[in-house]
Amino acid sequence: MSDGIYIVDVDLGERCYPIIIGPGVMKEPSNLLPYCSEDQVMIVTNETVAPLYLDQLKQTLQGVEVHVTLLPDGEEHKSLQTAETIFDHLLEVPCDRTTTLIALGGGVVGDIAGFVAGCYQRGIDFIQIPTTLLSQVDSSVGGKTGVNHSMGKNMIGLFHQPKCVIADTEVLSTLPARELSAGLAEVIKYGLISDSAFFSWLEAHIEGVLNLESDLVTYAIERSCRTKGEVVAADEREGGQRALLNLGHTFGHAIEAAEGYGVHLHGEAVAMGTMLAADLSFRLGWLESEEVARIANLYQRAGLPVIPPQELTAEDYLRLMAVDKKVKKGVIRLILLKKIGEAEIVSDYTTAQLKATLDSFSKT
């Protein structure tokens, strides 16, 4: 650490890589150039982020041959068709196996670009420069890449680890407040699943983080990435414990799918989904009601919704959750909370218990 810069190493053996976190880290050539070995890069970004940060990034990459693929903004473009436009451009240039792909943007850009990097000529190097809080603490770390299918999110994808992740906290100043809050849903998640001290720290500092006080934001990102990095290093391909990172996601994906993607932000859906998981955890006798209230309270202070759309019925949830990747032999595995700071993968709840939770949040 120097000048408030943190480096978190994700320990994946020969695919080990650093996450460089702090204000202005995107401006420092030595954070990027060592990973552009053959001096040719393809930056993948979108129409919203490019006007804000593309010139800055090009400045950092002086001396490197830079190509840019500009994507439309929005989750609805996270498709195989959009991936194809990047493949087309890579071949038009043409780029070979030694080109480095750089994802400059939020989770959608990072997921598509990572997928393309994983598939282009059977895999090329890539660098993640996440420009949202959500992608800085979650999607840019861990190597999950992919695109959506009309029948489900992230159904087409693969594991492809980046060479490094550049989490520049200065870029958060241009992030809409609602997206900052959505990112905090994942930050809070790390506290919930494995780090009760961090959860308490967030209870003490959430307003300061929302106000983008540099030291607080950098610390929150560093601690989130450290937890995620440890979980990923222990279970890269999600055979076991990595699934804990999906707290709130199975419910959340169902909410997003029911409403149509884009009504709620992913982080908002995760917050609401986590409230469903917390409710079921309470019904199983694990969480105390006071803990459920603490979770709801922290979400609300972070600007996040805690009550799922009431028009969704239990049947809606069950149908939509059945296509989730965490389904095993027809049984929906859920991530539930033993207490704040401890999560567990659960398959042995009863349908009646699950339905009771779903019904309690439904109007019909």
Span of 215-223, 290-298, 325-333, 339-347 interacting with a copy of itself by CB under 8 A: 325-333
Q: Tell whether residue 363 is a contact of a copy of itself (CB under 8 A).
A: no
Does residue 144 have an active-site annotation?
yes
Number of residues in the chain: 364
The binder of a copy of itself chosen from 62, 260, 289, 328 (CB under 8 A): 328
In the region spanning residues 71 to 130, those forming contacts with a copy of itself, defined by CB under 8 A, are 80, 84, 87-88, 91-92, 94, 96-98, 118-123
b/e sequence 39-69, b meaning 16+ C-beta within 10 Å: ebbbbbbbebbbeebbebbeebbeebebbbb
Span of 133-141, 267-275, 324-332, 339-347 interacting with a copy of itself by CB under 8 A: 324-332
The binder of a copy of itself chosen from 110, 146, 191, 341 (CB under 8 A): 146
- Chain mean position to CA 229: 13
The answer to whether 152 and 79 are in contact (CB under 8 A) is no
**Could you tell me the CA-to-CA distances from 287 to 292, 319, 352 in Å, in that order?**
7, 26, 18
CB 319 to a copy of itself: min, Å: 11
* d(C-alpha 149, C-alpha 135), whole Å: 20
Please tell me which residue in 89, 228, 326, 333 is annotated as part of the active site: 228
Span of 104-112, 154-162, 174-182, 253-261 interacting with a copy of itself by CB under 8 A: 154-162
Q: Tell whether residue 285 is a contact of a copy of itself (CB under 8 A).
A: no
CB 108 to a copy of itself: min, Å: 17
Please tell me which residue in 14, 122, 328, 363 is annotated as part of the active site: 122
Please tell me which residue in 153, 160, 242, 333 is annotated as part of the active site: 242
Reply yes or no: is the peptide bond before residue 94 cis, omega within 30 of 0.
Answer: yes
Sign of CA dihedral 243, 75, 57, 101: positive
CB 343 to a copy of itself: min, Å: 20
Does residue 149 have an active-site annotation?
no
- Chain mean position to CA 222: 14
Please tell me which residue in 46, 89, 186, 236 is annotated as part of the active site: 186
Residue 327 pairs in a beta bridge with 332
**Could you tell me the CA-to-CA distances from 212 to 36, 191, 246, 323 in Å, in that order?**
31, 19, 26, 38
Q: Tell whether residue 156 is a contact of a copy of itself (CB under 8 A).
A: yes
Q: Tell whether residue 323 is a contact of a copy of itself (CB under 8 A).
A: yes
Q: Tell whether residue 345 is a contact of a copy of itself (CB under 8 A).
A: no
* d(C-alpha 261, C-alpha 155), whole Å: 15
Residue labelled with tokens 């601690």? 223
Residues marked active site are found at: 122, 144, 186, 228, 238, 242, 246, 249, 253, 266
Residues within the interface to a copy of itself (CB under 8 A): 38, 80, 84, 87-88, 91-92, 94, 96-98, 118-123, 144, 146, 149, 151-152, 154-159, 237-238, 322-323, 325, 327-329
